[in-house]
Structure 1
């Protein structure tokens, strides 16, 4: 429910703050006063298209702010669906505040609960908060897709589940159909691909590539290329450990060991150091042995070097061609295996598709049966509401027409009316006038069994083309809708305005040489005067008496 809306510098509205009531709120005013501006501001707040001309001339920016009371049960889910992760940052405990600013250059900023959000998020939230109906929006009632959505709102039980399951399964079956068509259409291409993969796999298997071999060859090549330097370094290291003159590390450690053995006779505490020297001497001897063996084995081998470099060149060529050679080989084998089992895969796909299509037929049949029952319930409820809207002689029917199977089933719906007995039954889109569309749409809204919790309905001139008793009936039905949901209606008719729990007047005036639109909530004497103006175009004793009588009857 919309608790309050504030508008600043939107077209002719310089500044206005309006508190709204539950139930029916009527917005009235003379033609051209700017009644629709309030609805325009609300659409802007709820993510509608932002036009720079909406900013009042001379102002830097326009601002619209609204406070909504969310239903306790559905509020958190509503925010999560519209805002995603941003919903966690929004505090809506005392009312959800939406705000939108628009500059003269057309730049727009949107906020929900003080959190900056993209305009699409504001729009998604707006669809859940407000249901907007204007003469243009009413034309949607003639569209087959909209009529089917309205009918499906009356589905229950198995039929409702079938509708959801059918749409999901249809998408899955369509994917299988496309995949099977691709498999069949690309048969020759797949055979050529299989031959090419066999060639590549054969090449890679014959090469016997491995990253371990490539690393080992690189080390061997470096050793063969630098054998002279390696011999010199190893010989120098050997000499440093043990030389013919006895000056090497092995000899030095042996002399130190002998000295400690002598000193040990005078201080047994040196035994630990002596043991460590003995171990060091043994380790040096081992190193010396291995170094001498290494020097003996080192020799230049040009033939082996050439062999190593040739093998490395072959491996590098495979790397340039295939990238990750081992990974490519694994993928190629898996792809070839799938291609070689194409017949089996195709058979499995055909079986799955046949099963899916059979299940679709079952779901479509259940859905069709449910829609036939729903069409009768919808027609009965709409018919009852039409009687209360001074269209009692009008017959309404929701007809099901066979259609090409699709995600929503195998039929479309056509709303049809017979305005008077004996006349032909024709589709709403071909027969109903603007006023009839307004009333039919209102009758459908009143008939709907599942209403968006907390939604506010906005009717922009639902009274087009009606008057007298019909206007009285429409006003009563709008009040009835207001018992379930908050309703805002822009109207010219006193019969409708008199039914409202809250009456808002829009007036145009000049101040400081500028034209502005004033928006005021009227009660008591002020409301009586506005009703008198609406009744006769002037305020006098007769119109005031008539207005008083009209309000008293309510």
Structure 2
């Protein structure tokens, strides 16, 4: 569960640390006090997209840290999958927001990124925003509730795998079924290009070898002059070259060693150098003898390099890539020439993939239809408890073409009053009915939800009186199996909290600050009285607030 939330420089919050408890935690306060900022901070730590405008005026960075204790197996598995250790069932997520739009993220002190925060937090927190109820207006979301309740993940993933395979093959088949004139035009072009490349017969490393040979031929006179200079320095014009001088020096030291043995090693070294130098001199002579000035060969090289240059520019690749390009073109050409055979094979593969996808979709549909009635019945029961005793909820199924979610078009039809025909939610549900319907759905799904913390941001929109109390009782019931955080304006809901947090706005030195306080019983009485009676708290409001707390 979410144990501690630390916020720094988020909107009007300079610094605050909020400790949450098990059960139902409610957050109350005046409109504009900063309750939504707490939700924004939690969204930030969950890796959601966050505007830099959220950073407190005058500051360059903002920081959010969340500590979770006793994390579930799903979160631990996700951490392991991402390369992090869960430790002693404690998890700390951190995110620093910079004014330049960049973020620095950490998981248990180790560097992470926003997508990692998002992946881990999906197993930790589920936020129901104050506008999320309006998702019920979109029938496309109804199928997701049934899939979640029915545990359809495995069937849905299996279907998606087969559906994606079918779509890939279908795309290839559509490419094959191009206009005949376009196919013939491509055959003509590829025939010319492959012939051109195969006739060129470019070899790996050929360009570098030709450039080296061209350099040697173009600089024949310079090379000859330099090698001849080396020969003269080694052998001399007629005599007295370097080799002869070294021979004289070697003999002199050898003679000296006859009188003093200490010079023997020096004499042997000079002798070795003499023979090595003679061998090198012979190499220089061979190099001079092998030198050739061949204008015809130089012309052939220039012509070949010009061809290679034209081909690399034409096909926009390096010289060494030309052979593989020719092979690819040849493969594509053969596919086009063998059009009928390839098309028949692809057509069969596509038909099989479609059948496999349809079979998987039918299995998924069967599970959904089996699940839907039970799901609707349970949601009806929850809505009845939430002061909608005459509600009717009917799952409507239509068969559609293969799509990302199968062959089902599902919509939950509702009737809030006896004798009325169930109709689409968007046509008859009020704001209060939407809020209660969404809470009923969340309650039913809570048993299959793998997260430890549910957050409701103003779930009480559009309701009051006994209906609000029923919503509070339902939130209290849900909080028995997981931690619940709820932003509310209803005293009936706040009175049922296990932990009550007050969000207050204060002004200091011309600046606005938000403070979060965990209320004692006395503080809760005054806050409930404020919610009931407004700014001027009367004794009657205090007595009523005391009764509300005592009643729970």
TM over 0.5: yes
**Does 2:453 match 1:455?**
yes
Between stretches 204-213 and 388-397, larger displacement belongs to 204-213
Deviations 1:385-423 (A, max 9, x none): 112212121011222233342121122221211112210
Give yes or no for the alignment of 1:140 onto 2:135.
Answer: yes
- 1:237/1:386 CA distance change after superposition, 3 Å: same
2:488 to 477, 486, 491: 491
Q: 1:181 aligns with which of 174, 179, 203?
A: 174
Aligned equivalent of 1:269: none
Relative to 1, partners in 2 of residues 1:198 and 1:65: Cα closer, same or farther, differing over 3 Å? closer
Equivalence for 1:162: 155
Q: Contact conserved, 1:463 with 1:471, CA < 8 A, in 2?
A: no
Corresponding residue for 2:302? 313
1:230 & 1:417 partners in 2: Cα distance? 99
Asked whether the equivalents of residues 198 and 326 of structure 2 are also in contact (C-alpha less than 8 Å), the reply is no
Over 3 Å counting, the alpha-carbon distance change for 1:544 and 1:284 in structure 2 is closer
Compared with structure 1, are the counterparts of its residues 66 and 10 closer, same or farther at alpha carbon in structure 2 (3 Å cutoff)? same
Instruction: Please list, as runs of the form range in 1=range in 2, the aligned pairs for 1:206-221 lying within 5 A after superposition.
Output: 214=210, 218=214, 221=217
Q: Structure 1 residues 329-338 or 204-213, which shifts more?
A: 204-213
Query: Does the aligned pair in 2 maintain the 1:165–1:363 contact within 8 Å?
Result: yes
Separation in 1 of the partners of 2:244 and 2:433?
A: 115
Match of 1:268 in 2: none
Distance, in Å, in 2 between the alignment partners of 1:213 and 1:23 is 78
Q: Report the CA distance between 1:91 and its aligned residue.
A: 8.1
> TM-score scaled to structure 1, two decimals?
0.77
CA distance in 1, matches of 2:231, 2:104: 80
Q: How big is each residue's C-alpha offset from its partner over 1:177-229, in whole Å with a ceiling of 9 and x where there is no partner? A: 22332233241232122321243045325999956984796488469767985
Name the SS for the 1:22 alignment partner.
coil
CA RMSD of aligned residues (A): 4.9
Report if the CA contact (8 A) 1:241-1:248 is conserved.
no
Matched, 1:480 2:477: yes
Q: State the match for 2:399 in structure 1.
A: 402
After superposing the two structures, state which structure 1 stretch, 347-356 or 110-119, moved more. Answer: 110-119
Q: Distance in 1 between matches of 2:506 and 2:232?
A: 108
Q: Is the 8 A contact 1:28 1:506 kept in 2?
A: yes
Structure 2 match to 1:150: 145
1:339 paired with 2:329, answer no
Aligned to 1:267: none
Q: Runs of 5+ in structure 1 lacking a partner?
A: 265-271
Among residues 317, 322, 341, which one is paired with 2:311 in the alignment?
Answer: 322
Does 1:352 pair with 2:349?
A: yes
Query: Quick one: structure 1 residues 53 and 236, their matched pair in 2 at CA, closer, same or farther if it must change by over 3 Å?
Result: closer
Return the offset for 1:536: 5.2
**Post-superposition CA distance 1:112-157 (Å, at most 9, x none):** 456676666656655554333333222122223322221211234x
Q: 1:119-518 alignment to 2 at 5 Å? A: 128-156=123-151, 160-185=153-178, 186-201=182-197, 203-205=199-201, 214=210, 218=214, 221=217, 305-323=294-312, 327-342=321-336, 343=338, 344-448=341-445, 449-468=447-466, 470-507=467-504, 518=515
Mapped partners of 1:278, 1:527: distance in 2: 106
The answer for unaligned runs of 5 or more in structure 2 is 259-264, 313-317
CA displacement at 1:33 relative to structure 2: 5.3
Aligned length: 535
Residues 306 and 494 of structure 1: is their aligned pair in 2 closer, same or farther, counting only changes over 3 Å?
closer
1:378 deviation in Å? 1.3
| Greater CA drift, 445-454 or 340-349 | 340-349
Give 1 or 2 for the bigger CA radius of gyration: 1
Cα offset, 1:354, TM superposition: 1.9
1:67 aligns with 2:61: no
Whole-angstrom CA distance in 1 between matches of 2:40 and 2:275? 97
Q: Is the 8 A contact 2:501 2:519 kept in 1?
A: yes
- After TM superposition, the score normalised by the length of structure 2 is 0.77
CA positional deviation for 1:167: 1.7
